[in-house]
Structure 1
């Protein structure tokens, strides 16, 4: 089975999700992952479905609004945001929802998170892939904002997202984490990082992460590989397009396509 390669709408920020659909069609991506955030289009499944049909590009995944800047998108309640994300995925025909572990201050949500994820997977048929995160550094110490940790394998879920920019920022061995995820690895955020303590989301191959090895390790899985890079410093549209084309070529090459 050929692994599908998608483009995250976050990869075109500050452009909107509409640009992601257009560039995905132009460059030959297999679909898009919709990052739900301030962009009104990303919050509207009906409008997203129209864009999908317009450009002939399916929605492969919905990234739930779980960033600090999206804590009021759809609802102030994290449980409701996750439920809305699953409903959007069902409406859009997307097989996957990407979600971050709960923040440490979301005590009630954190206590019931694993059960909620399992319940929603059972009722919807959608894979809810919990993503690895990274700590922040304060006063020379590493501090995690996530409960119980930045590593979702510490809890154990049916499905995981492996983000290679996050492993770089965490100073984590990405291949060791990939092995811990095992057959439960369902989704890959393909990006790179240099090991600096921030989320760089570089074009794969421009940092220190084993992006090629991770791609080579998932050539027979049923999930998706999604390019999630940072192009906000692109000075022109063609420069952004070049980075997205290079990332797709990297993915295809190392997935044996």
Structure 2
């Protein structure tokens, strides 16, 4: 479908699906359809805690190796869960060491709390995170990494201004999940333009700022009743992105 619709490439989410875990199979599919793998999303969801290994450090290392083997430039990873204490304590050092050794960008993604900040949380600080499952925070800019992934739907669920978050990420923004949300506590991943987030403004800011990373359409199409409906939704998202990212189309390394 990505090939048919004209996407430049795909991000592979490594999860319970067997093919997503099989680098050889992914390479064959990429070659068969002429669609490169631009990024690999490390298995760090609750449902993927034993994919490749029960150890989160090993899962991240495997994701970096997979990205290298597939010719991808970026690995997307979430901040550690609170109960992953040893992993969390060494996470920033592990990320830095893997980037240095591999040359692969490990872009740490902004997440969202179980409960967003309420008025009392906000009184205690402008960047309070509510009740969080992540250690030390769902906002990776509070720690500081060489590369970040901006996820607009996650920012919406965290009730965080994605433009402000993008400003904090600055030149370290390496990867974008272009999607939308309405600001409810759930992670919606709506088509860009179907929620309340400033998706067009984000694209404009990327274009005016000389962004050279990758923009990924990461949307929920589960409500599509047919393959044609799903294709239409993904085509609409691609059109939205290309319309608002037009200044970047002539950038040599830009991919969507």
Normalization by structure 2: what TM-score? 0.90
Q: Provide the alpha-carbon RMSD of the alignment.
A: 1.2
2:23 aligns with one of 20, 23, 45: 45
Alignment partner of 1:239 is 2:229: yes
1:154 aligns with one of 135, 139, 142: 142
Displacement of 1:221 in angstroms is: 1.7
Displacement of 1:169 in angstroms is: 0.5
1:102 aligns with one of 48, 55, 80: 80
Higher strand share: 1
Determine the C-alpha separation between the residues in 2 that align with 1:231 and 1:77.
Answer: 31
- 3-state SS in 1 of match to 2:76: strand
Displacement of 1:167 in angstroms is: 0.6
Determine the C-alpha separation between the residues in 2 that align with 1:226 and 1:44.
Answer: 21
- 3-state SS in 2 of match to 1:218: helix
Determine the C-alpha separation between the residues in 1 that align with 2:6 and 2:104.
Answer: 25
Alignment partner of 1:63 is 2:41: yes
1:215 aligns with one of 177, 187, 203: 203
How many pairs were matched up? 234
1:123 aligns with one of 82, 101, 111: 101
- 3-state SS in 1 of match to 2:115: strand
- 3-state SS in 1 of match to 2:29: helix
Alignment partner of 1:111 is 2:111: no
Alignment partner of 1:84 is 2:62: yes
Q: Give the match for residue 228 of structure 1.
A: 218
- 3-state SS in 1 of match to 2:91: helix
2:51 aligns with one of 73, 76, 84: 73
- 3-state SS in 2 of match to 1:98: strand
Determine the C-alpha separation between the residues in 1 that align with 2:53 and 2:215.
Answer: 29
Structure 1 stretches lacking a partner, 5+ long: 1-22
Determine the C-alpha separation between the residues in 2 that align with 1:144 and 1:135.
Answer: 4
Normalization by structure 1: what TM-score? 0.89
Structure 2 stretches lacking a partner, 5+ long: 122-129, 250-256
Determine the C-alpha separation between the residues in 2 that align with 1:130 and 1:112.
Answer: 14
Alignment partner of 1:206 is 2:184: no
2:176 aligns with one of 180, 185, 188: 188
CA deviation map 1:32-53 (0-9, x unaligned): 0000001111000000000000
Q: Give the match for residue 93 of structure 1.
A: 71
Determine the C-alpha separation between the residues in 1 that align with 2:163 and 2:115.
Answer: 23
